[in-house]
Amino acid sequence: MKRIAAALALVAAILTTPGAMADPADEARAVYRQFAVAQNMHDLEKVAALLLDSPEFLWVSDGKSIWGREAVLKRMALFQEARVWRVAPELDKAVAVTVSDNTAFLHLPLELAIAFSAAEPDRLRFLVSVLCVGTPEGWRIAALFTTTENPK
């Protein structure tokens, strides 16, 4: 009887552990969706919570590298001073690639609307690749790679 109780307790612990049985590709989509929502709300605190807290965090945009979560947040804060700042990821077109049980890449197109003045916002298209990792605190973004989308 004790063995059955112990086995049931173990199964219950596994099933209630966040992300324990979740698909890494689904987790990558979910964390990126939260990241986009936080950006659109201009909630840098929430954005920070979704980024891996590591000096190895990397954001590469058109060949320029920014290392570390704090440096990335500082740059994002400058962007969010714009009168209009809105990201529209095309999650329905996202391709997720599972690397391991706690790592996945997500590749997707995104449109950024940005305006620093009263003018109509510029609409910029990007291709984004996101490295997402499962941590004891939940899934986090470990790296972002962006490039302007090639014209069709």
Asked if residue 105 is part of any domain, the answer here is yes
Domain total for the chain? 1
Domain assignment present for 71: yes
The CATH number of the domain where 75 resides is what? 3.10.450.50
Cα distances (Å, whole numbers) of residue 121 to 28, 87, 88, 117, 128 = 29, 12, 13, 8, 20
Q: How confident is the model at residue 80 (pLDDT cuts 50, 70, 90)?
A: confident
The answer to whether position 16 is within a domain reads no
Overall pTM > 0.85: no
pLDDT, one tens digit per residue, over 85-107 is 899 999 999 999 999 999 999 99
Over the stretch 23-46, which tens digit does the pLDDT of each residue have? Answer: 999 999 999 999 999 999 999 999
In a domain, 13, yes or no: no
Tell me whether residue 60 is in a domain.
yes
Structural domain span for residue 94? 22-148
